Structure 1
Amino acid sequence: MALEVSHVVGGYSQIPVLKDISFDVKDGELVGLIGLNGAGKSTTINHVIGLLTPHKGKITLNGVTIDQDSQAYKQQIAYIPETPVLYQELTLREHLEMTMMAYDLDQQVAWKTAHGLLKTFRLDNKLDWFPANFSKGMKQKVMIVCAFLTQANLFIIDEPFLGLDPLAVNDLLHLIESRKQQGASILMSTHVLDTAQRYCDRFVLLHDGQVKTEGTLSELQAALPEAGESLNDIYLSMTKVDRS
């Protein structure tokens, strides 16, 4: 069942940014949320994670809405924001411990997972470092480790490749594939369309706060045969048509 966004109208004021959008992310599926700046990607994500309340419509995660049970809803989600958000007074170790407590994880099991992730992202000798010691890319890796430390049903990843070196990008993609194979649902917003084309199962193309089209790459190619073969070509063609 996973995530279902149904006829959502919403935004930051009474003027809606999102205009009756609907899409879903199934279990074991990676869905790419694609769109230009201002298309509504971040607004969509903020509604899904509960920072914004829809004016209309409903968002359901495995049969639960945030209004029905806020804790049960939010504990199913792990979120990696575009800009890392860390507590300056907490070390990396303390960030991990806080994540374990927030998600009510078994400490022994969670630390075993954490050590593997720390080694993968080359942070295993930095447990006592504070955020001020980290580069932007390292801060992004901390967010990745904290998110994948959990056993979330839904991972929401916003522009994950910004600031990451090529090795870290490859490690993240392998990690996403592994969690997907374990049945997790993943919604990923990105401008890196060639990478999205290779790894995403389906795509939701947003433009001007609306879902212009969605589906697998082959379904998008069939729906827009004149656009071209690549995801980049299809999206550029769609936005050109909208502007004409």
Structure 2
Amino acid sequence: MLEVTGLTGGYKADVPVIRDVSFTVGAGELVGMVGMNGAGKSTVIKHVLGLIEPHQGSVALNGETLASNRALFRSQIAYVPETPRLYPELTLREHMKLTAMAYGMDDALYEERSERLLGIFRMKESLDAFPGTFSKGMQQKVMILCAFLLQPALLIVDEPFVGLDPLAIHALLELLEEMKAQGTGILLSTHILGMAEKYCDRFVMMSRGVVALYGTLEDMRGQAAMPDATLDDLFVRVVKESSR
């Protein structure tokens, strides 16, 4: 579904941050992107979202690219950023309605999904409150609520667990599993390796702007010649090798 091929890019034309990055995310698959801070994960995500033009390579979603059909490409993606980005003058209700309007969601479907999500994340009493009154965790919930209103082909989730309470983390994980079962492809960037190992089907392990290891846990064990390694073991190995 998502095909990233030979992606090289960054923020300046002559200074690549990521080099020759290739991976896929299939329908109904959860792919974890892991790596140290500065490894290139967020840069890859910005390229996938079309926020940065690649120097080389391509990003295709169900056969479409930004160049071939910008509106269709972006309409297939929902995104939960690491840092909540909200409109201070809009209430929670208005954020959710704006999202539904932007994606052309039917009113009845919006009411059904919003009611359920607000209950799951215990945000019903905050519907008419403004983001400035919310904690960091509540602001993150607003981003999650807006993304999960949709049923996108691809969901990109960047460090979503920061600031969330344990009940919200549990609810988010259950919803990710639910969306997988419904056929959504999910790209999850996270530093919580134990959680990633438990929930992800495959992995993209980044180091210094390149893909160091890629595939299932078993695939990466073979690539690293560490047959009994955990995801944490592989991560430590990659970090140590990149520091030499």
Q: What TM-score does the superposition give when structure 1 sets the normalisation length?
A: 0.97
Cα distance change of structure 1 residues 180 and 39 upon mapping to structure 2, 3 Å threshold: same
Counterparts of 1:39-118 in structure 2 under 5 Å?
Answer: 39-118=39-118
**Partner residue, 1:121:** 121
> Aligned partners of 1:63 and 1:219: how far apart in 2?
26
Q: Is the 8 A contact 1:227 1:234 kept in 2?
A: no
Shift of 1:221: 1.8
What's 2:11 paired with?
12
For residues 146-157 of structure 1, what are the structure 2 equivalents within 5 Å? 146-157=146-157
Aligned residue in 2 for 1:207? 207
Partner residue of 1:159? Answer: 159
Q: CA deviation at 1:243?
A: 2.3
CA distance in 1, matches of 2:225, 2:20: 26
Q: Distance in 2 between matches of 1:220 and 1:46?
A: 25
Paired with 1:69 and 1:227, the residues of 2 have a C-alpha distance of 44
Name 1:37's counterpart in structure 2: 37
Deviates more, 1:129-138 or 1:213-222: 213-222
Q: Within 2, Cα distance between the matches of 1:20 and 1:218?
A: 23
> Residues of 1 paired with 2:11 and 2:87: CA distance?
26
Unaligned runs of 5+ in 1: none
1:227 and 1:237 in contact (8 A); partners too: no
Where does residue 3 of structure 1 map in the other structure?
2
* Residue-pair matches, total: 243
Partner of 2:25: 25
The match for 2:231 is: 231
Q: Counterpart amino acid of 1:3?
A: L
1:164-208 CA-partner distances (Å, limit 9, x unpaired):
011110100000000000000000000000100000000001111
Alpha carbons 2:208, 2:242 under 8 Å: kept: no
TM superposition shift of 1:222 = 2.5
Give the whole-Å Cα distance in 1 for the aligned partners of 2:83 and 2:228: 33
Amino acid at match of 2:79: Y
Cα distance between partner residues in 2 of 1:189 and 1:227 = 24
Aligned counterparts of 1:192 and 1:158: Cα–Cα separation in 2: 12
Distance 1:4 1:226 in 2: 28
Question: 2:101 is matched by which residue type in structure 1?
Answer: M
2:162 and 2:26 map into 1 onto residues whose CA distance is: 26
What value does the CA root-mean-square deviation take over the aligned residues?
A: 1.0
Deviation at 1:227, TM superposition (A): 7.6
Q: Which residue of the partner structure matches residue 143 of structure 1?
A: 143
Structure 2: any 5+ residue segments left out of the alignment? none
Distance 1:193 1:199 in 2: 10
Shift of 1:229: 1.9
CA distance in 1, matches of 2:211, 2:241: 15
Q: Secondary structure at the match of 1:233?
A: helix
AA of the residue aligned to 1:12: Y
List 4+ stretches of structure 1 deviating above 6 A.
Answer: none
Q: Tell me which moved more, 156-165 or 223-232.
A: 223-232
Partner of residue 187, structure 1: 187
Q: Name the TM-score, length of structure 2 as normaliser.
A: 0.97
Hey, what's the Cα distance between the residues in 2 that align with 1:84 and 1:140?
Answer: 6
